[in-house]
Structure 1
Amino acid sequence: MVAKIEVPSGLHKDVVSLAFLLGTWEGAGVHDFPGAEKCNFGQEIVFRHDGRAFLEYRSRSWVLDAEGNKVRPLESETGFWRVTSNQHGTSGAREVQFSSVRDDGTVEIWYGELADGKPQIELATDAVARIEGAAPYSGGKRLYGLVNGELMWVGEKSAPEVPLRPYMSGQLKKVLNPAQLVQDVSDLPDDGIAFFR
Protein backbone atom coordinates (compact mmCIF):
# COMPACT_ATOMS: atom_id res chain seq x y z
CA MET A 1 0.00 0.00 0.00
CA VAL A 2 1.42 3.39 -1.01
CA ALA A 3 1.15 6.12 1.62
CA LYS A 4 -0.65 9.32 0.64
CA ILE A 5 1.77 12.22 1.00
CA GLU A 6 0.38 15.73 1.11
CA VAL A 7 2.47 18.47 -0.49
CA PRO A 8 1.69 21.80 1.20
CA SER A 9 1.30 24.99 -0.80
CA GLY A 10 4.36 27.18 -0.71
CA LEU A 11 6.78 24.25 -0.51
CA HIS A 12 9.82 24.97 -2.71
CA LYS A 13 9.90 22.70 -5.78
CA ASP A 14 13.42 21.48 -4.91
CA VAL A 15 12.24 19.81 -1.69
CA VAL A 16 8.88 18.37 -2.81
CA SER A 17 10.47 14.90 -2.67
CA LEU A 18 11.03 15.46 1.09
CA ALA A 19 7.38 16.40 1.76
CA PHE A 20 6.80 13.09 3.57
CA LEU A 21 9.07 14.34 6.38
CA LEU A 22 7.12 17.56 7.06
CA GLY A 23 5.38 17.98 10.39
CA THR A 24 5.95 17.21 14.04
CA TRP A 25 6.73 13.61 14.94
CA GLU A 26 6.79 12.09 18.43
CA GLY A 27 7.70 8.64 19.64
CA ALA A 28 10.34 6.55 21.34
CA GLY A 29 13.38 4.46 20.65
CA VAL A 30 16.47 2.73 21.99
CA HIS A 31 19.98 4.15 22.54
CA ASP A 32 22.95 1.78 22.95
CA PHE A 33 26.61 2.59 22.26
CA PRO A 34 29.80 1.48 24.06
CA GLY A 35 30.85 4.03 26.68
CA ALA A 36 27.37 5.58 26.86
CA GLU A 37 24.27 4.76 28.86
CA LYS A 38 21.96 2.18 27.29
CA CYS A 39 18.40 3.50 27.58
CA ASN A 40 14.98 3.94 26.07
CA PHE A 41 14.36 7.48 24.90
CA GLY A 42 11.47 9.71 23.91
CA GLN A 43 11.86 11.96 20.89
CA GLU A 44 10.27 14.87 19.08
CA ILE A 45 11.35 15.67 15.51
CA VAL A 46 10.07 18.72 13.63
CA PHE A 47 10.51 19.28 9.88
CA ARG A 48 9.35 22.74 8.70
CA HIS A 49 9.62 24.85 5.57
CA ASP A 50 9.41 28.56 4.91
CA GLY A 51 9.27 28.48 1.11
CA ARG A 52 13.03 28.39 0.56
CA ALA A 53 14.89 25.43 -0.99
CA PHE A 54 15.46 23.49 2.25
CA LEU A 55 13.65 21.92 5.18
CA GLU A 56 14.47 23.08 8.69
CA TYR A 57 15.00 20.20 11.13
CA ARG A 58 14.95 20.01 14.92
CA SER A 59 15.22 16.90 17.08
CA ARG A 60 15.02 16.65 20.87
CA SER A 61 15.31 13.41 22.81
CA TRP A 62 15.24 12.52 26.49
CA VAL A 63 15.98 9.46 28.61
CA LEU A 64 12.86 7.56 29.72
CA ASP A 65 12.48 5.52 32.89
CA ALA A 66 10.84 2.07 33.00
CA GLU A 67 7.37 3.68 33.17
CA GLY A 68 8.02 5.93 30.18
CA ASN A 69 8.51 9.15 32.17
CA LYS A 70 11.07 11.76 31.09
CA VAL A 71 14.19 11.56 33.27
CA ARG A 72 16.56 14.07 31.61
CA PRO A 73 17.58 15.37 28.16
CA LEU A 74 19.54 12.94 26.00
CA GLU A 75 20.41 14.80 22.79
CA SER A 76 19.32 17.82 20.74
CA GLU A 77 20.09 18.42 17.08
CA THR A 78 19.21 21.08 14.52
CA GLY A 79 19.91 21.32 10.83
CA PHE A 80 18.83 21.78 7.24
CA TRP A 81 17.89 19.25 4.53
CA ARG A 82 18.31 19.94 0.81
CA VAL A 83 17.87 17.98 -2.42
CA THR A 84 20.29 18.50 -5.31
CA SER A 85 21.57 16.73 -8.40
CA ASN A 86 23.65 13.70 -7.47
CA GLN A 87 27.36 14.43 -7.19
CA HIS A 88 28.53 12.03 -4.47
CA GLY A 89 26.56 8.88 -5.33
CA THR A 90 26.92 6.47 -8.21
CA SER A 91 23.37 6.39 -9.56
CA GLY A 92 21.14 9.04 -11.07
CA ALA A 93 19.06 9.30 -7.88
CA ARG A 94 18.23 12.55 -6.17
CA GLU A 95 20.89 13.48 -3.62
CA VAL A 96 19.97 14.63 -0.13
CA GLN A 97 22.29 16.93 1.80
CA PHE A 98 21.84 17.34 5.54
CA SER A 99 23.91 19.72 7.68
CA SER A 100 23.48 19.32 11.44
CA VAL A 101 24.71 20.64 14.77
CA ARG A 102 24.28 18.66 18.00
CA ASP A 103 24.23 20.02 21.53
CA ASP A 104 27.48 18.21 22.41
CA GLY A 105 29.39 20.41 19.97
CA THR A 106 29.42 18.06 16.98
CA VAL A 107 28.86 19.43 13.48
CA GLU A 108 28.13 16.99 10.64
CA ILE A 109 27.66 17.13 6.88
CA TRP A 110 25.63 14.20 5.54
CA TYR A 111 25.04 13.06 1.96
CA GLY A 112 22.60 10.42 0.80
CA GLU A 113 19.96 9.45 -1.70
CA LEU A 114 16.21 9.23 -1.87
CA ALA A 115 15.07 5.69 -2.57
CA ASP A 116 13.44 5.17 -5.93
CA GLY A 117 9.65 5.08 -5.63
CA LYS A 118 9.36 5.05 -1.84
CA PRO A 119 9.67 7.59 1.00
CA GLN A 120 13.08 6.52 2.28
CA ILE A 121 16.44 8.26 2.64
CA GLU A 122 19.83 6.73 3.38
CA LEU A 123 22.62 9.09 4.54
CA ALA A 124 26.29 8.87 5.50
CA THR A 125 28.58 11.50 7.01
CA ASP A 126 30.96 13.28 4.67
CA ALA A 127 32.52 15.54 7.31
CA VAL A 128 32.54 15.63 11.12
CA ALA A 129 33.90 18.41 13.34
CA ARG A 130 33.86 18.42 17.15
CA ILE A 131 34.61 21.02 19.78
CA GLU A 132 37.09 20.19 22.52
CA GLY A 133 35.45 17.92 25.06
CA ALA A 134 32.88 16.39 22.70
CA ALA A 135 32.61 12.60 22.80
CA PRO A 136 34.89 10.74 20.36
CA TYR A 137 33.05 10.27 17.08
CA SER A 138 34.34 9.64 13.58
CA GLY A 139 31.27 9.15 11.38
CA GLY A 140 27.88 7.62 10.89
CA LYS A 141 25.03 6.43 8.73
CA ARG A 142 21.29 7.00 9.02
CA LEU A 143 18.20 5.58 7.39
CA TYR A 144 14.84 7.41 7.51
CA GLY A 145 11.62 6.03 6.10
CA LEU A 146 7.87 6.38 6.19
CA VAL A 147 6.42 2.97 7.13
CA ASN A 148 2.65 2.57 7.57
CA GLY A 149 2.33 6.30 8.25
CA GLU A 150 5.08 6.32 10.91
CA LEU A 151 8.53 7.86 10.64
CA MET A 152 11.09 5.16 11.38
CA TRP A 153 14.80 5.83 11.60
CA VAL A 154 17.99 4.07 12.60
CA GLY A 155 21.42 5.59 13.20
CA GLU A 156 24.83 3.96 13.10
CA LYS A 157 27.99 5.56 14.39
CA SER A 158 31.70 4.90 14.76
CA ALA A 159 34.35 6.22 17.12
CA PRO A 160 38.14 5.81 17.02
CA GLU A 161 37.89 2.66 19.18
CA VAL A 162 34.45 1.45 18.00
CA PRO A 163 33.71 0.31 14.43
CA LEU A 164 30.51 1.46 12.73
CA ARG A 165 27.49 -0.06 14.52
CA PRO A 166 23.82 0.72 15.18
CA TYR A 167 23.43 2.96 18.24
CA MET A 168 20.03 4.64 18.09
CA SER A 169 16.67 3.96 16.46
CA GLY A 170 13.23 5.47 16.76
CA GLN A 171 9.61 4.98 15.78
CA LEU A 172 7.55 8.19 15.63
CA LYS A 173 3.95 9.10 14.91
CA LYS A 174 2.86 12.34 13.29
CA VAL A 175 1.30 14.84 15.69
CA LEU A 176 -2.00 16.20 14.40
CA ASN A 177 -2.01 19.79 13.21
CA PRO A 178 -4.43 21.90 15.33
CA ALA A 179 -5.53 23.81 12.20
CA GLN A 180 -6.67 20.53 10.63
CA LEU A 181 -8.51 19.60 13.83
CA VAL A 182 -10.41 22.90 13.70
CA GLN A 183 -11.34 22.22 10.08
CA ASP A 184 -12.54 18.71 10.99
CA VAL A 185 -14.68 20.11 13.84
CA SER A 186 -16.30 22.56 11.42
CA ASP A 187 -17.61 19.54 9.47
CA LEU A 188 -19.65 18.36 12.48
CA PRO A 189 -23.43 18.88 12.51
CA ASP A 190 -24.57 22.15 14.12
CA ASP A 191 -25.95 20.53 17.26
CA GLY A 192 -22.95 18.20 17.72
CA ILE A 193 -25.20 15.47 19.12
CA ALA A 194 -26.13 14.20 15.65
CA PHE A 195 -22.54 13.06 15.25
CA PHE A 196 -23.10 10.36 17.92
CA ARG A 197 -26.43 9.05 16.52
Structure 2
Amino acid sequence: MTSGDEAIQAAEQRAESTRGRNLPPYGALPDLPIPADTANLREGPNLNDACLALLPLVGVWRGEGEINYPTIDGPKKFAQQLTIAHDGRPFLYHEARSWLLDDEGNVIRPAARETGWWRPQADDTIELLLTHSSGILELFYGKTRGQASWELGTDAVIRTATAKEVTGAQRLYGIVNNGDLGYVEERAMVGQPMQPHVSALLRRVAG
Protein backbone atom coordinates (compact mmCIF):
# COMPACT_ATOMS: atom_id res chain seq x y z
CA MET A 1 0.00 0.00 0.00
CA THR A 2 1.29 3.46 -0.91
CA SER A 3 1.83 5.87 1.99
CA GLY A 4 0.59 9.45 1.93
CA ASP A 5 4.12 10.80 1.45
CA GLU A 6 4.76 8.38 -1.42
CA ALA A 7 1.48 9.37 -3.08
CA ILE A 8 2.38 13.07 -2.87
CA GLN A 9 5.85 12.40 -4.26
CA ALA A 10 4.39 10.37 -7.14
CA ALA A 11 1.92 13.16 -7.92
CA GLU A 12 4.74 15.72 -7.98
CA GLN A 13 6.74 13.53 -10.37
CA ARG A 14 3.74 13.19 -12.70
CA ALA A 15 3.21 16.95 -12.61
CA GLU A 16 6.76 17.70 -13.80
CA SER A 17 5.67 17.27 -17.41
CA THR A 18 2.27 18.96 -17.12
CA ARG A 19 2.57 21.83 -14.64
CA GLY A 20 3.87 24.25 -17.26
CA ARG A 21 1.19 23.46 -19.85
CA ASN A 22 -2.21 25.09 -20.12
CA LEU A 23 -4.97 25.82 -22.58
CA PRO A 24 -4.04 28.17 -25.40
CA PRO A 25 -5.96 31.40 -24.81
CA TYR A 26 -8.37 30.77 -27.68
CA GLY A 27 -11.11 33.37 -27.73
CA ALA A 28 -8.97 35.49 -25.41
CA LEU A 29 -7.28 38.29 -27.30
CA PRO A 30 -4.72 40.27 -25.25
CA ASP A 31 -7.24 43.02 -24.54
CA LEU A 32 -10.00 40.70 -23.27
CA PRO A 33 -11.29 42.54 -20.17
CA ILE A 34 -12.42 39.37 -18.34
CA PRO A 35 -10.49 36.26 -17.24
CA ALA A 36 -9.72 33.64 -19.89
CA ASP A 37 -10.35 29.96 -19.17
CA THR A 38 -7.56 28.08 -17.44
CA ALA A 39 -7.06 24.33 -17.11
CA ASN A 40 -4.01 24.83 -14.88
CA LEU A 41 -4.70 25.62 -11.22
CA ARG A 42 -1.28 27.34 -11.00
CA GLU A 43 -2.31 29.98 -13.55
CA GLY A 44 -5.15 32.43 -13.98
CA PRO A 45 -7.93 33.14 -11.48
CA ASN A 46 -8.32 31.12 -8.31
CA LEU A 47 -10.70 28.21 -8.44
CA ASN A 48 -14.03 29.24 -6.97
CA ASP A 49 -14.68 27.69 -3.54
CA ALA A 50 -17.90 26.17 -4.86
CA CYS A 51 -15.83 24.01 -7.22
CA LEU A 52 -13.41 22.56 -4.66
CA ALA A 53 -15.12 19.16 -4.75
CA LEU A 54 -14.35 19.09 -8.51
CA LEU A 55 -10.76 20.33 -8.22
CA PRO A 56 -9.10 17.03 -9.27
CA LEU A 57 -10.93 17.15 -12.60
CA VAL A 58 -9.42 20.45 -13.74
CA GLY A 59 -6.86 19.89 -16.50
CA VAL A 60 -6.43 18.60 -20.02
CA TRP A 61 -6.60 14.80 -20.29
CA ARG A 62 -5.89 12.41 -23.16
CA GLY A 63 -6.18 8.68 -23.50
CA GLU A 64 -7.96 5.76 -25.12
CA GLY A 65 -11.09 3.76 -24.54
CA GLU A 66 -13.67 1.44 -26.02
CA ILE A 67 -17.17 1.90 -27.40
CA ASN A 68 -19.61 -1.00 -27.47
CA TYR A 69 -23.37 -1.37 -27.84
CA PRO A 70 -25.74 -3.97 -29.33
CA THR A 71 -26.62 -1.66 -32.21
CA ILE A 72 -23.03 -1.14 -33.45
CA ASP A 73 -20.45 -3.43 -34.98
CA GLY A 74 -18.10 -3.32 -32.01
CA PRO A 75 -16.29 -3.04 -29.84
CA LYS A 76 -14.48 -0.06 -31.34
CA LYS A 77 -11.35 1.69 -30.08
CA PHE A 78 -11.23 5.45 -29.71
CA ALA A 79 -9.03 8.18 -28.27
CA GLN A 80 -10.17 11.33 -26.56
CA GLN A 81 -9.05 14.71 -25.28
CA LEU A 82 -11.07 16.02 -22.36
CA THR A 83 -10.64 19.62 -21.21
CA ILE A 84 -12.07 20.77 -17.90
CA ALA A 85 -11.33 24.42 -17.19
CA HIS A 86 -12.63 27.40 -15.22
CA ASP A 87 -12.62 31.21 -15.19
CA GLY A 88 -12.93 31.77 -11.45
CA ARG A 89 -16.72 31.55 -11.31
CA PRO A 90 -18.69 28.71 -9.65
CA PHE A 91 -18.76 26.31 -12.61
CA LEU A 92 -16.35 24.35 -14.81
CA TYR A 93 -16.18 24.27 -18.60
CA HIS A 94 -16.21 20.80 -20.21
CA GLU A 95 -15.14 19.88 -23.74
CA ALA A 96 -14.47 16.38 -25.06
CA ARG A 97 -13.17 15.59 -28.55
CA SER A 98 -12.86 11.98 -29.72
CA TRP A 99 -11.45 10.12 -32.70
CA LEU A 100 -11.75 6.50 -33.82
CA LEU A 101 -8.69 4.24 -33.93
CA ASP A 102 -7.90 1.10 -35.86
CA ASP A 103 -6.46 -2.01 -34.22
CA GLU A 104 -2.92 -0.60 -34.55
CA GLY A 105 -3.85 2.69 -32.90
CA ASN A 106 -3.90 4.76 -36.09
CA VAL A 107 -6.48 7.54 -36.44
CA ILE A 108 -9.41 6.61 -38.67
CA ARG A 109 -11.47 9.80 -38.40
CA PRO A 110 -12.82 12.36 -35.92
CA ALA A 111 -15.73 11.10 -33.82
CA ALA A 112 -18.00 12.43 -31.05
CA ARG A 113 -17.77 15.93 -29.60
CA GLU A 114 -19.49 17.33 -26.52
CA THR A 115 -19.37 20.59 -24.63
CA GLY A 116 -20.97 21.64 -21.39
CA TRP A 117 -20.77 22.86 -17.82
CA TRP A 118 -20.26 21.32 -14.39
CA ARG A 119 -22.37 23.35 -11.91
CA PRO A 120 -21.86 22.40 -8.23
CA GLN A 121 -24.67 23.42 -5.90
CA ALA A 122 -24.81 24.42 -2.22
CA ASP A 123 -26.44 21.10 -1.23
CA ASP A 124 -23.46 19.19 -2.76
CA THR A 125 -25.49 18.23 -5.81
CA ILE A 126 -23.65 18.50 -9.13
CA GLU A 127 -25.41 19.55 -12.32
CA LEU A 128 -23.72 18.57 -15.58
CA LEU A 129 -25.15 20.05 -18.78
CA LEU A 130 -23.85 18.48 -22.01
CA THR A 131 -24.54 19.27 -25.65
CA HIS A 132 -23.45 16.68 -28.22
CA SER A 133 -22.59 17.33 -31.85
CA SER A 134 -25.00 14.50 -32.71
CA GLY A 135 -27.98 16.66 -31.71
CA ILE A 136 -28.47 15.44 -28.11
CA LEU A 137 -28.75 17.70 -25.05
CA GLU A 138 -28.49 16.08 -21.60
CA LEU A 139 -28.97 17.30 -18.04
CA PHE A 140 -27.21 15.12 -15.46
CA TYR A 141 -27.53 15.31 -11.68
CA GLY A 142 -25.08 13.66 -9.33
CA LYS A 143 -22.80 13.87 -6.33
CA THR A 144 -19.18 13.39 -5.34
CA ARG A 145 -18.38 9.89 -4.10
CA GLY A 146 -15.43 9.96 -1.71
CA GLN A 147 -12.73 12.50 -2.54
CA ALA A 148 -12.08 11.75 -6.17
CA SER A 149 -15.05 10.17 -7.92
CA TRP A 150 -18.29 11.58 -9.29
CA GLU A 151 -21.46 9.69 -10.22
CA LEU A 152 -24.18 11.28 -12.37
CA GLY A 153 -27.38 10.28 -14.11
CA THR A 154 -29.65 12.07 -16.58
CA ASP A 155 -32.75 13.88 -15.40
CA ALA A 156 -33.67 15.09 -18.88
CA VAL A 157 -32.65 14.29 -22.46
CA ILE A 158 -33.63 16.44 -25.45
CA ARG A 159 -32.85 15.58 -29.06
CA THR A 160 -33.24 17.21 -32.43
CA ALA A 161 -35.47 15.71 -35.11
CA THR A 162 -32.43 14.18 -36.83
CA ALA A 163 -30.71 12.74 -33.72
CA LYS A 164 -30.90 9.10 -32.64
CA GLU A 165 -33.27 8.17 -29.84
CA VAL A 166 -31.63 8.50 -26.41
CA THR A 167 -33.71 8.06 -23.26
CA GLY A 168 -31.08 8.15 -20.49
CA ALA A 169 -27.44 7.93 -19.49
CA GLN A 170 -25.27 7.42 -16.41
CA ARG A 171 -21.62 8.36 -15.93
CA LEU A 172 -19.00 7.61 -13.31
CA TYR A 173 -15.72 9.57 -13.30
CA GLY A 174 -12.85 8.80 -10.95
CA ILE A 175 -9.18 9.55 -10.32
CA VAL A 176 -7.40 6.20 -10.11
CA ASN A 177 -4.36 5.35 -7.99
CA ASN A 178 -1.79 6.47 -10.56
CA GLY A 179 -3.45 9.86 -11.02
CA ASP A 180 -5.20 9.06 -14.30
CA LEU A 181 -8.85 9.87 -14.91
CA GLY A 182 -11.09 6.95 -15.71
CA TYR A 183 -14.74 7.03 -16.63
CA VAL A 184 -17.51 4.69 -17.69
CA GLU A 185 -20.82 5.53 -19.31
CA GLU A 186 -24.04 3.54 -19.53
CA ARG A 187 -26.69 4.60 -22.02
CA ALA A 188 -30.27 3.70 -22.97
CA MET A 189 -30.93 4.44 -26.64
CA VAL A 190 -32.46 3.20 -29.89
CA GLY A 191 -34.81 0.87 -28.04
CA GLN A 192 -32.14 -0.71 -25.83
CA PRO A 193 -32.21 -0.73 -22.00
CA MET A 194 -29.57 1.04 -19.90
CA GLN A 195 -26.25 -0.77 -20.36
CA PRO A 196 -22.49 -0.13 -20.73
CA HIS A 197 -21.57 1.97 -23.75
CA VAL A 198 -18.22 3.77 -23.28
CA SER A 199 -15.18 3.40 -21.03
CA ALA A 200 -11.87 5.26 -21.14
CA LEU A 201 -8.70 5.94 -19.21
CA LEU A 202 -7.18 9.41 -19.66
CA ARG A 203 -3.77 10.75 -18.64
CA ARG A 204 -3.22 14.36 -17.59
CA VAL A 205 -1.31 16.25 -20.30
CA ALA A 206 -1.75 19.82 -18.98
CA GLY A 207 -2.47 21.36 -15.60
Q: TM-score range by the shorter chain?
A: 0.7 to 0.9
After the TM superposition, which segments of 4 or more aligned residues of structure 1 sit over 2 Å from their partners?
1-9
- Give the aligned partner of residue 184 of structure 2: 154
Aligned with 1:19 (options 43, 51, 55): 55
Task: Spell out, residue by residue over 1:124-165, the C-alpha distance to the aligned partner (whole angstroms, 9 max, x if none).
Answer: 000000001111110010000000200000000002521100
Q: Aligned equivalents of 1:74 and 1:107: distance in 2?
A: 17
For the 8 Å contact 1:7–1:16, the answer to whether it is kept is: no
> Helix, strand or coil for the counterpart of 1:74?
strand
CA contact (8 A) 1:25 1:44 kept: yes
* Aligned 8 A contact 2:61 2:206 in 1: no
Q: Which residue number in structure 2 is paired with residue 28 of structure 1?
A: 64
The within-5 A match list for 1:37-52 is 37-38=73-74, 39-52=76-89
Residue 67 of structure 1: aligned partner? 104
Paired with 2:174 and 2:59, the residues of 1 have a C-alpha distance of 14
Contact 1:156 1:167 in 2 (8 A): yes
51 and 37 in structure 1: CA distance in 2 versus 1, 3 angstrom threshold = farther
SS in 1 for 2:47: coil
Letter in 1 for 2:155: D
The two structures have a TM-score, normalised by structure 2, of 0.77
Secondary structure at the counterpart of residue 55 of structure 2: helix
Unaligned ranges ≥5, structure 1: 87-93, 178-197
* Aligned residues of 1:26 and 1:174 also touching (Cα < 8 A): yes
State the structure with more CA Rg: 1
Distance in 2 separating the partners of 1:15 and 1:85: 10
Aligned to 1:91: none
Overall identity of the aligned pairs, in %: 36
Matched, 1:132 2:161: yes
TM-aligned CA deviation for residue 37 of structure 1: 4.0
Map 1:40-189 → 2, pairs under 5 A: 40-86=77-123, 94-116=124-146, 118-148=147-177, 149-159=179-189, 161-177=191-207
Output the CA distance in 1 between the equivalents of 2:41 and 2:99. Answer: 30
Does the 8 Å contact 1:123/1:142 carry over to 2? yes
Amino acid at match of 2:188: S
Which residue in the other structure is 1:186 paired with? none
Letter in 2 for 1:35: T
Question: Which position in structure 1 is the counterpart of 2:24?
Answer: none
Aligned residues: 169
User: Aligned residue for 1:90?
Assistant: none
CA offsets, 1:88-146, max 9 Å, x none? Answer: xxxxxx21110010000100000001013x20000000000000111111001000000
